[in-house]
Amino acid sequence: MRYNKLNVRRVTVIFLPLDRDIQEYLESKESMGGYLKKLLREDFNRSQNDSHESAG
């Protein structure tokens, strides 16, 4: 339990009725957390590449 308290973070996403389409799409994925982390990692990597290109 101590490891989780120090190293694991939980986030909550709230979907409004207008977001029903993306909510259902997300729920159709085998792993919602895995899918979200993949999207975030891709976006993070893109932003890192963009910032490095503009700096050089």
Please report where in the chains the tokens 């910032």 appear, as a residue.
Answer: 51
Q: Tell whether pTM > 0.75.
A: yes
CA distances from 50 to 36, 37, 39, 56 (A): 21, 20, 16, 10
d(CA 41, CA 21): 23
State pLDDT tens for residues 8-47. 999 999 999 999 999 999 999 999 999 999 999 999 999 9
Q: Are 21 and 28 in contact (CB under 8 A)?
A: no
d(CA 54, CA 21): 36
